[in-house]
Amino acid sequence: MATGKILVAQGGGPTAVINQSLVGVVLEARRFGNVERIYGAHHGVRGIIHEDFVDLTRETSHNLEQVAATPGSALGSTRDKPDLKYCQQIFEVLRAHGIGHFFYIGGNDSSDTVRIVSEQAAQAGYPLRCMHIPKTIDNDLVANDHTPGFPSAARFVAQAFAGANLDNAALPGVYVAVVMGRHAGFLTAASALGKKFPDDGPHLIYLPERNFSIDSFLSDVKAMHERHGRCVVAVSEGIHDASGEPMLVRLAKQVEHDAHGNVQLSGSGALADLLCEEIKAKLGIKRVRGDTFGYLQRSFIGCVSDVDAREAREVGEKAVQFAMWGDRDGSVAIKRTGFYSADYELLPLSTVAGKTRVMDDAFIAPSGSDVTDAFRLYLRPLLGSGMPDAYRLRPAPVDKVLGASG
Amino acid sequence: MATGKILVAQGGGPTAVINQSLVGVVLEARRFGNVERIYGAHHGVRGIIHEDFVDLTRETSHNLEQVAATPGSALGSTRDKPDLKYCQQIFEVLRAHGIGHFFYIGGNDSSDTVRIVSEQAAQAGYPLRCMHIPKTIDNDLVANDHTPGFPSAARFVAQAFAGANLDNAALPGVYVAVVMGRHAGFLTAASALGKKFPDDGPHLIYLPERNFSIDSFLSDVKAMHERHGRCVVAVSEGIHDASGEPMLVRLAKQVEHDAHGNVQLSGSGALADLLCEEIKAKLGIKRVRGDTFGYLQRSFIGCVSDVDAREAREVGEKAVQFAMWGDRDGSVAIKRTGFYSADYELLPLSTVAGKTRVMDDAFIAPSGSDVTDAFRLYLRPLLGSGMPDAYRLRPAPVDKVLGASG
């Protein structure tokens, strides 16, 4: 039997609901008599190797509930991607503190860390249950219907485009917004859920699952602008050409001497600006505006899917139950069981670890610049209840008197 | 007595609640027996000179209520700034259609248009009531306690910074976000309302009311980063040096060959990116991220202050009442009468027209990089009810066993 000390940590980018998973672990674990202490590590694996722990057993359940409803990673996070040596250090610290259960909330890199630590414990014959709890706004974990954090980020993106479309309809022009997602286009595709009326934007959606061509992009924008007198475009930060080179780098080269070539994808408005420059230069459209949703889409407070919040809580609770009642390590995954309901299963760590899921072809329109109804059906229930709605005045034209040219 | 036809239009940038004012005009006007028809002009003054009108009398009150709760300008807007000749055209169209009341919802440019049209009507001896209804997220109308649209945009900015602060605390570094506001810093200052705990960001706030120095900016960031191990900065798009030159242009020159020098302030991520380049280059801080809130802050659907929505509705209603019962033209203004309650007054158009209000010195901290409690007290009630709140885990350190260096 594993010892009665539990360690929980959070890795990778924060989300709107990752603290729900943390609190799910803590409160569920406290129901088990054999659990003496629940430690949290500051800033993920980095905090573990530095023994930077807090005793969550001493926190009130009331404040834990308040923290659960707060975005961001309450324990702090890290971008460290541990190699074997780093994982051996992690294991040594866990053993030194007599940790019997290790819960790591994160994406596919985090699941790989859990896998290696689990192997280290097995080799050392040390009784340790290692559980990976899914989290990522990119929704790119294989064998998961979806991942906690994605639905709330998707809700933000859908609401942002619903509003941007109204803004663009009021003051027509071309609007290009760049959304997070280096390899998987799920979050960018969520922009389609902001669309209500047939002529609403986004009129074009570009995903990293398809090769991006600046020429077809420009002709697509031109066509939509001619049809609607305006054009709203959703672009994934990860769009790349046929050779796999990110468009940010490609365009930064084209636009002479641009300083942005080497900046990372997120945390910069460069891609949106460069695409706007192209549209102005090549299409001669006057009003062209670019936005980059940046960190707002994963950390905006007050835009949470209630479905996401519930599920993020449950993956934490289930991880503890699997650890206490099962006799194997693994990664908790969300399984869709109805329209809409979900259940949870424990996958082998090797199934999830280090792998990246991208959008199924069935979710992407043949044009390559839109999503399918299959995707809308997949995503809509995840956005949760109380999605804001947009309404229009209905046409009731008045005859001209002076007959001035419209 | 003015004739029974009313014309209403929307000008300038859309807001989250400008349609409340539109619907306030329409529904209130329909209570008056002498009102035969209520026309709306598409895309503001541009629609007027093109006689592009819709008959709002034929819209249902139910759908009007739905539209009222929808962000953006339901009639469409325009950036046209009419000169005398343009205003004469407007007046000729109004006369041709037998319009007796003209309501224009917009900012200080719009109020100036209303002023000129009012003068034209007077000179022609044509009975026309001209009313300006305030709207601007910049909050820069003189003689107004605040302007409809600002509180909801301010709420977005406060929530955005509350979330960005949590994100930055989880993955420490420097975060710079650029907020709209060319001359008035109210919206950027609203970032301070996202702060809860003493060490929360924004740690620095730069407003267009003060001259911006890149050197003191860098030393401020350095000091905050040393104190907190991280730094969240709010910057107005309108920051400028002592000569009044916008920093965007200034920095674009400094950063060799940058392509952004001539882009307009909004609709580009350039300023945030350029400030981040400076921090990386001069301070050698590794993790530096920049966001530009762009159009999200004025058009995000689902982030509305209920106080703002009510007041935007009332300024529309009051405009009609002033027009029907009063015998003068004017601009409706919000007057603060309690903590918190508001009333409305009709100001002479000349009082508001074309003038720009900036933040009082009493709202800006002596440091020039923060706001005062007077500003917090001024803004907080406007943000409305149900502001999301952030909570933290309380410290409960665990003793090290291996004593690895923290």
Quick one: pLDDT band at residue A99, thresholds 50, 70, 90?
very high
Catalytic residue among A80, A138, A273, A308: A138
Confidence at residue B244, expressed as pLDDT on a 0 to 100 scale? 93
Overall pTM surpassing 0.80 (yes/no)? yes
ipTM above 0.90, yes or no: yes
Contact A50 B294 (CB under 8 A): no
| Per-residue confidence (pLDDT) for residue A2, from 0 to 100 | 57
- pLDDT bin (cut points 50, 70, 90) of residue A261 is very low
Above pLDDT 70, what percent of chain A?
Answer: 95
Residue of A66, A96, A259 lying closest to B391 (CB–CB): A66
Q: How far apart are CA A358 and CA A122, in angstroms?
A: 32
Residue of B nearest to A278 (CA): B259
CA distance B349 to chain A (A): 25
Chain B partners of A397 at a C-beta cutoff of 8 Å? 53-55
Residue B260 has pLDDT above 70, yes or no: no
> What integer pLDDT is reported at residue B2 of this predicted model?
56
Q: Which long-range contacts (CB under 8 A, 24 or more apart) does A114-120 make?
A: A114/A329, A114/A331, A114/A349, A114/A353, A115/A349, A115/A350, A115/A353, A116/A82, A116/A84, A116/A87, A117/A87, A117/A90, A117/A91, A118/A329, A118/A349, A120/A87, A120/A88, A120/A90, A120/A91
pLDDT tens digits for B119-134?
999 999 999 999 999 9
Average pLDDT of the segment spanning B335-362 = 97
The residue from B112, B138, B140, B200 that is catalytic is B138
Q: Which helix (H) or strand (E) holds B291?
A: strand B288-292
- When the pLDDT of each residue in chain B is averaged and rounded to a whole number, the result is 94
- Distance to chain A for B272, nearest Cα, Å: 8
pLDDT higher than 80, residue B264: no
Higher-scoring residue by pLDDT: B301, B261 = B301
The closest CB to that of B406, out of A52, A167, A256, belongs to A52
Nearest-Cα distance to chain A for B97, in Å, is 7
To the nearest whole Å, the CA of B5 is away from the closest chain A CA by 12
Across the range A101-105, mean pLDDT stands at 98
Q: How far apart are CA B150 and CA B298, in angstroms?
A: 9
Q: What does the pLDDT look like over A24-53, one tens digit per residue?
A: 999 999 999 999 999 999 999 999 999 999
Residue A260 reports pLDDT greater than 90: no
Q: Do A166 and B77 touch (CB under 8 A)?
A: no
Handedness of CA A111, A117, A121, A124 (dihedral sign): positive
Q: Which of A52, A268, A390 sits opposite B70 (nearest CB)?
A: A390
**Average pLDDT, integer, range B159-167:** 98
Inter-chain CB proximity B404 and A93 less than 8 Å:
yes
At A253 the pLDDT is 63
Q: How far apart are CA A392 and CA B364, in angstroms?
A: 40
Is A389 labeled as catalytic in the residue annotation? Answer: no
Selected for mutation to probe chain A from B42, B301, B306, B385 (highest A CB count within 10 Å) is B301
* Per-residue model confidence (pLDDT) at position B204: 98
- In angstroms, what separates the C-alpha of B218 from chain A's closest C-alpha? 19
Q: Do A291 and B291 touch (CB under 8 A)?
A: no
Confidence of residue B250 (pLDDT cuts 50, 70, 90): confident
- pLDDT of A264 above 70: no
Query: Nearest CA to CA, how far is A400 from chain B (Å)?
Result: 6
* Predicted confidence band of residue B347 (pLDDT cuts 50, 70, 90): very high
Residues contacting residue B247 through CB under 8 Å, at least 6 positions apart? B212, B214, B239, B240, B241, B271, B274, B275
Best mutation site among B6, B97, B167, B253 for testing chain A: the one with the most A CBs within 10 Å?
B167
In chain A, what residues touch B299 (CB-CB under 8 Å)? 163-164, 166-167
Distance in Å, alpha carbon of A241 to nearest chain B alpha carbon: 22
Average pLDDT over residues B308-320: 98
Q: Which of A82-86, A328-332, B3-7, B361-365 has the lowest mean pLDDT?
A: B3-7
* B268 vs A contacts (CB less than 8 Å): 269, 272-273, 276, 289-290
Q: Test A76 with B169 for CB contact under 8 angstroms.
A: yes
Examine the pLDDT at B176 and tell me if it is beyond 70. Answer: yes
Q: Tokens at residue A148, please?
A: 């906690």
AA identity, residue A358:
V
Which pLDDT belongs to residue A299? 87
Distance separating alpha carbons of residues A52 and B406, to the nearest angstrom: 7
Among B387, B223, B228, B373, which Cα is nearest to B304's? Answer: B387
Question: In the predicted model, what is the mean pLDDT of chain A?
Answer: 94
Place of tokens 């005009």: B25
CB contact under 8 A, B166 and A301: yes
Q: How far is CA A105 from the centre of its chain?
A: 14
Please report where in the chains the tokens 């697509």 appear, as a residue. A220
pLDDT at B352: 96
**Mutation target among B161, B171, B199, B288 for the A interface, most CBs of A within 10 A:** B171
Q: What is the mean pLDDT of residues B102-127?
A: 96
pLDDT at B1 over 60: no
Pairs of CB atoms within 8 A across A/B? 299
Residue B256 has what pLDDT? 39
Residue A257, pLDDT > 70, answer no
Torsion of CA A189, A195, A200, A201, to 10 degrees: -20
pLDDT of the residue at B249: 85
- Residues in chain A with CB shorter than 8 Å from the CB of B160 are 296, 300
From the list B164, B302, B388, the residue facing A388 with the nearest CB is B302
Of B171, B277, B301, the CB nearest to A162: B301
User: Which residues of A fall within a CB distance of 8 Å from B81?
Assistant: none
Which distant-in-sequence residues (6+ apart) come within 8 Å of A65 by Cβ? A23
Mean pLDDT calculated for residue range A378-389: 97
Pick A260 or B15 by higher pLDDT.
B15
Number of helices followed by number of strands (H, E) in chain B: 14, 11
Task: Please report residues of B whose CB lies closer than 8 A to that of A92.
Answer: 402
Average pLDDT over residues A12-20: 97
Q: Which of B97, B301, B394 sits opposite A390 (nearest CB)?
A: B301
Which residues from chain A sit within 8 angstroms of residue B71, using beta carbons?
A: 163, 166-167, 390
Check CB contact under 8 Å for A51 and B406.
yes
pLDDT band at B151 (very low <50, low <70, confident <90, very high): very high
Q: For residue range A50-93, what is the model confidence (pLDDT) as tens digits?
A: 999 999 999 999 999 999 999 999 999 999 999 999 999 999 99
Over the stretch B2-12, which tens digit does the pLDDT of each residue have? 568 999 999 99
CB B45 within 8 A of CB B86: yes
Tell me the domains of chain B and their CATH numbers: 5-137+302-352 (3.40.50.450), 152-297+360-383 (3.40.50.460)
How far is it, in rounded angstroms, from Cα A194 to Cα B85? 41
pLDDT band at B251 (very low <50, low <70, confident <90, very high): confident
Average pLDDT over residues A159-177: 97
CB contact under 8 A, A391 and B69: yes
